[in-house]
């Protein structure tokens, strides 16, 4: 009986009833019978180290920032316009297929303003639905560049339209920079318009609000009831070095004057406690509970108070890239990271 060699790990498997022959370098398959796993001979250790490796992370929900460019100037932004890079579409699709193969069920695209690249994100959502069969595709937008034409062409591939709105007071939005070029007065009008367009096409509407020193005392109940989102995500303003903590950390923004206390954030939540769609996230809930993927498909690690990019999954694969992410799955589950994220199926016809 001849010796056998495997094809993926460099391990020699001698026939059970023969004396081992000199070791040759070869690749062996990891599909071994139980009695071969971690067995040792005096002349070689054939332990397979990855059988004791860290359990694989399943990237169920991924937030991808394909481009940092934005037409708004939000002073608290924690993903700023530090470069103009955007992956070629074919490379992006390759990376998304790798993520889907690893277990991704939901893809959220954020920015920057995603609708500055309308065809790009539209083709991504189409690919995710038609070829990857992703459960949920969502986008976070300021609403200023969304068009009915885009929704008519690509809306069928979108489950959730999340619209950023921090205030229903024009002056407050301008004070926060939540306006086109920091000065435009059309933001509130756009929020209502895009929300209705989305609903008309069966897309679920979500509102994202960042609570700062400028808006923590505001009462938004009436407007939220009019918009009737299925989720209202309310964030406590978050500081991240290299993004929004001033020039000394290399940041383009400085949000340190916008921070609020835990008591102020709780005050805002209590004022809106009657809103059943409200989903609050303070700084502790946000920290390390997201899988954030940058424009080069590198997971961003925020464990040390900044946003440190790891290795690109396009270069090293999904699992090695995930090991760089600092992702806390427990925190993800505790903040309600998994929810009913699919658009509602159309009602069946009655004949």
Residues with catalytic function: 70, 74, 77
* DSSP secondary structure letter of residue 34: G
- Rounded to 5°, the CA angle 240-245-247 comes to 130
* DSSP secondary structure letter of residue 116: G
Strands 12-13, 4-5: pairing kind: antiparallel
Which residues, other chains included, contact 224 with Cβ-Cβ below 8 Å and sequence gap of 6+?
Answer: 207, 232, 272, 275, 277
* DSSP secondary structure letter of residue 112: S
Picking from 239, 183, 177, the residue whose alpha carbon sits closest to that of residue 214 is 177
Cα 68 from Cα 112, distance rounded (Å) = 4
Picking from 203, 228, 155, the residue whose alpha carbon sits closest to that of residue 345 is 203
Distances (CA, A) of 218 to 166, 167, 222, 268, 269: 10, 8, 11, 8, 11
């Amino acid at each position: 009986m001849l010796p056998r060699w495997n094809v993926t790990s460099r391990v020699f498997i001698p026939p059970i009833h023969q004396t081992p022959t000199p070791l040759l370098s070869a690749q062996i398959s990891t599909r071994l019978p139980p009695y071969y796993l971690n067995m040792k001979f005096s002349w070689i250790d054939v332990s397979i180290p990855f059988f004791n490796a860290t359990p694989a992370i399943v990237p169920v929900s991924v937030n991808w920032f394909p481009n940092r460019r934005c037409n708004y100037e939000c002073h608290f932004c924690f993903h700023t316009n530090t470069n103009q890079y955007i992956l070629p579409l074919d490379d992006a699709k390759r990376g998304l297929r790798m993520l889907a193969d690893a277990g991704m069920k939901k893809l959220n695209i954020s920015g920057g303003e995603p609708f500055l690249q309308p065809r790009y994100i539209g083709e991504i959502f189409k690919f995710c639905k038609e070829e990857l069969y992703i459960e949920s595709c969502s986008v976070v937008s300021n609403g200023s560049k969304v068009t009915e034409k885009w929704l008519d062409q690509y809306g069928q591939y979108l489950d959730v339209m999340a619209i950023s709105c921090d205030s229903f007071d024009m002056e407050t939005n301008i004070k926060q920079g939540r306006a086109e070029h920091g000065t435009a007065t059309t933001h509130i009008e756009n929020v209502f318009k895009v929300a209705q367009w989305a609903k008309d096409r069966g897309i679920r509407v979500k509102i994202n609000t960042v609570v700062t020193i400028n808006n923590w005392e505001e009462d938004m109940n009436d407007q939220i009831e009019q918009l009737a989102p299925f989720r209202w995500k309310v964030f406590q303003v978050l500081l991240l070095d290299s993004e929004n903590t001033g020039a000394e950390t290399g940041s383009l923004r400085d949000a340190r004057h916008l921070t609020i206390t835990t008591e102020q954030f709780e005050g805002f939540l209590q004022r809106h406690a009657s809103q059943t769609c409200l989903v609050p996230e303070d700084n502790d809930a946000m920290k390390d509970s997201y899988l954030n993927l940058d424009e080069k498909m590198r997971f961003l690690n925020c464990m040390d108070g900044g946003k440190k990019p790891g290795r690109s999954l396009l270069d090293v694969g999904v699992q090695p890239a995930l090991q760089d992410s600092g992702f806390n799955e427990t925190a993800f589950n505790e903040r309600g990271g998994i929810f009913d994220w699919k658009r509602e199926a159309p009602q069946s016809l009655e004949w």
